[in-house]
Each structure stands twice: as C-alpha cells, then as structure tokens.
Amino acid sequence: MDFDWTEEDRAYRARIREFLKKELPSDWDEISRHGPGSREQTEFSLQFCPKLAEAGLLVPHWPQEWGGGDRPTWEHFILGEELWAAGEPRGAQYMNVNWIGPTLMRFGTEEQKRRFIPEMVAGKAIWCQGFSEPNAGSDLASLRTRAERDGDDYVINGTKIWTSYAAMAEHCFLLARAGAGQGKAGIAIFIVPMSTPGIEVRSIPSLIGHGDIHETFFTDVRVPAAARLGEEGEAWSIINYSLANERVGIPRYELSTRVLNDMVSELKQRGDFSDPVVQARAGSAAAACEAARMLVYRTVDMKARGDIVGAEASMARVAVIEADHAVTDFGMEFLPDAFNGRSHPAFLAHHERAIVTGIAAGAAEIQLGLIARHWLDLPKGVH
C-alpha cells in the first residue's frame, strides 16, 4: 500500500495545471460562477474540450480503438481532480467522459458506437440524462415514461424532471418503460435526439444557476428501434454500471479542500485564525475532505484493478457530501460576509453546489440505505 503519487503522476498533474493556466480565459471566474450545468459553461466546453482532446487530455483512459490513450484509470482521475477544482471547464461533457461514453462502448451496438463515440472524443457532444420523473427520483424503478413499440419504431410519452443540460443537449440518454416487464424488469434505455419532434424543454429556476435544470416533456416522440441501447428490460444492469461510474465521477473534495485553504488564508489575513475553536473546526473540515479523498481513491483503485465497486461507491459519495457540508458550514460560520458572491465568488459557488450535492446523482439517504444493506448486511426496510 503506497499512498503517495509517483513522479509520473506528479508530472501529469503539473502538465494539466499548465494547460489550464494557458487555456482558461481571464474572465473564467465569471463564466464558471454558475457551475458546469449553466449555459455559459456548456457553451465554453465546446471550445475548451476540442483543445483538451488535441492535447490528449479528454479521454486518456479510453481504449485506443475508440480514440483514447489506453492510459491508467488514475490518470483520468487526476485529470478529473484538476478540472473539477478549476470549476469543471468540460461543462456537461464530463458526463460523456465519465460514464455515457464508457456505457456506450460496453453496451452499444457497433452502429451506435460509430455514430456517437467520435463526437465525444472530439469534445463536441452535449448529452443529457433523462432518468428522474416528478414521481420517480430515488425510486427510479417506478418511472412511468412509456416507449410503445410501433412497427420498426418506438413512440415515447412521458415527463422527465431535473434534467441537467437539456436545453443545450443534442441527445438524451433516456429511461422509459418498454415491453411487458414490471418494475426494474420493464425499463429500456433510448438514445433520443433532442431535436426530435414532440420534445419540449422548460428551464426550472434554481439557486444553482441559470438554465441548469429542466422539465423535459415527451409527447408522441418517435424514434427507430435502433435507438434502443441494450434489450427491453435490460436497462437496470446498464444503469447500475453507469451510476457506479457517476457516483465517483466528481472529485468534489478537491474543490472543497482548495476552498477550505482559501478560507483559512482569509481568516489568517484578518487575524482571526488564532481562536482554538476556529482552528478545531478548520481541522475537522480538513479531516472530512481527506476522508472523502481516501474513500474515493479506494473506489478508483478497485476500478483500476477491475474489481466490481459496490457499497464502497456509496460510502465515498456520502463522505464527499459530508466534506462539502463541513467546508461550507465552516465558512458560513466564521466568514459570513465573504459569501456575498463578489469578494470570493468561489465560496458562494461552492456553497450553492454543496446544497444540492446530497440530492443529485442519488440522494444521500439512499446511499446510506445501500450501505446498510450491502455493507452492514441489514435487511431492506429496517434502516
């Protein structure tokens, strides 16, 4: 067990920082103020990701056959840490790199791979994820959007909600009921072009930013059967594969750590860091960030070894959420005036995202339930 980075890893990290220094514009703080889901940042990603791709820094971990570099999982992870801490200039495209692309490569037909992977590798593809519905979030298996087979087509009807990036996305990775199966066994995945007639997208105003989350309505949306990913009823195992990648996909502790360091610097500058209570709280937040980092590293290590990641992913996610909260709570308590959005925009941006971090990509309580069942072996329903 070695907890240190190799020389090669350090050099790789330094190269990414250098790249970011060169490529991020002087008004990047303003562009990134509203987070990866905002229109500004998603538009920016369409200029930034092609440059990242040209530098070999977009999908280094993907197989060469599909435009990657066959590089170790850890390189991709270092990349994720640096980009997320810089405000995620990949915008919505982090999803392609982390899980949509790998899911297509694993479960897609040759035709689907050839159609969609090259655009992702070029850094020019915006996708959205149509999972949640007004009455199906945590209990995703109860979703009602229906895809009815009609000859060589499917006709899709239903409503999705909280769909990030939907207003700018070209494709939706959509879950819908298809065939006769019940619950989880009745769900299929469809790749739906967002320009298909019958799709309406409405932005939902929210504190995390402009145009970030949406309601997406599907009315008699017709897609060919070739738009289905996997078989009818097979979606659940594909989704589990995707979600395990998504849950550890965002190394938020890296940003939390940097924000905490900036908060401590600010307190020191003000002469307010000598109070032992302040120091103890800062120490506790730092410990939460490091605990999250280590738990996430374990899941990355498991993935790198080809092991199946189970409850470990849920634990890592809970720790990441707690670290986010510990840092923002610390700042709000000891530097409340610095959250005005002007003097330290990163504090407010981090705070806003910390509010939703325990909901998006599967609520924290659901992760705790998974840990209870799969780690502590408690029966379902007792927790």
As annotated, the active-site residues are 246
Minimal distance in Å, beta carbon 79 to ligand FAD?
22
Region from 110-118, 123-131, 148-156, 291-299 binding ligand FAD, contact rule CB under 6 A? 123-131
Q: Which is nearer to ligand FAD, 213 or 255 (CB)?
A: 213
Shortest Cβ distance from residue 130 to ligand FAD (Å)? 6
Nearest Cα to Cα of residue 295 among 311, 277, 273, 315: 315
**Shortest approach of ligand FAD to residue 200 CB, angstroms?**
16
Q: Which is nearer to ligand FAD, 242 or 257 (CB)?
A: 242
Q: Is 180 exposed, middle or buried (0-12, 13-18, 19+ CB in 10 A)?
A: exposed
- Cβ proximity to ligand FAD: between 216 and 299 the closer is 216
Burial class (CB in 10 A: 0-12, 13-18, 19+), 227: buried
Contact 151, 186 (CB under 8 A): no
CB 136 → ligand FAD: shortest distance, Å? Answer: 7
Q: Per CB under 6 A, does 168 bind ligand FAD?
A: no
Pick between residue 55 and residue 368 the one whose CB is nearest to ligand FAD.
368
Number of residues forming the site for ligand FAD (CB under 6 A): 20
In the 3-class helix/strand/coil scheme, how is 98-152 assigned residue by residue?
Answer: HHHHHHHHHHCCHHHHHHHHHHHHHCCCCEEEECCECCECCCHHHCCCEEEEECC
Does 162 engage in binding with ligand FAD (CB under 6 A)? Answer: yes
- Closest CB to ligand FAD belongs to which residue? 137
Asked if 164 interacts with ligand FAD (CB under 6 A), we say yes
Binding mask 129-158 for ligand FAD (x = CB under 6 A): xxxx----xx--------------------
Instruction: Indicate left, alpha or beta for 215 from its phi (over 0: left) and psi (-120 to 50: alpha).
Output: beta
Shortest Cβ distance from residue 253 to ligand FAD (Å)? 18
Residues 190-249 that bind ligand FAD (CB under 6 A): 208, 213
Write the single-letter amino acid at 240. N
> Shortest approach of ligand FAD to residue 296 CB, angstroms?
19
Structure tokens at 188: 């299929």
Q: Which two tokens stand for residue 53?
A: 């791709």
According to CB under 6 A, which one of 124, 146, 363, 373 is a site residue for ligand FAD?
363
Residues 76-115: x where in contact with ligand FAD by CB under 6 A, - otherwise, as a string: ----------------------------------------
Site residues for ligand FAD, 254-283, by CB under 6 A, read none
In 150-275, which residue ranges form alpha helices assigned H by DSSP? 235-247, 252-269
Q: Residue 14 carries which DSSP code?
A: H
Which of 188, 198, 189, 187 shows the shortest CA–CA distance to 221? 198
Is residue 66 within 8 Å of 121, Cβ to Cβ?
A: yes
Restricting to residues 173-192, name those near ligand FAD by CB under 6 A.
none
**What is the C-alpha separation between 257 and 89, in angstroms, rounded?**
19
Instruction: Please report, as ranges, the residues that interact with ligand FAD according to CB under 6 A.
Output: 128-132, 137-138, 162-164, 208, 213, 356, 359-360, 362-363, 365-366, 369
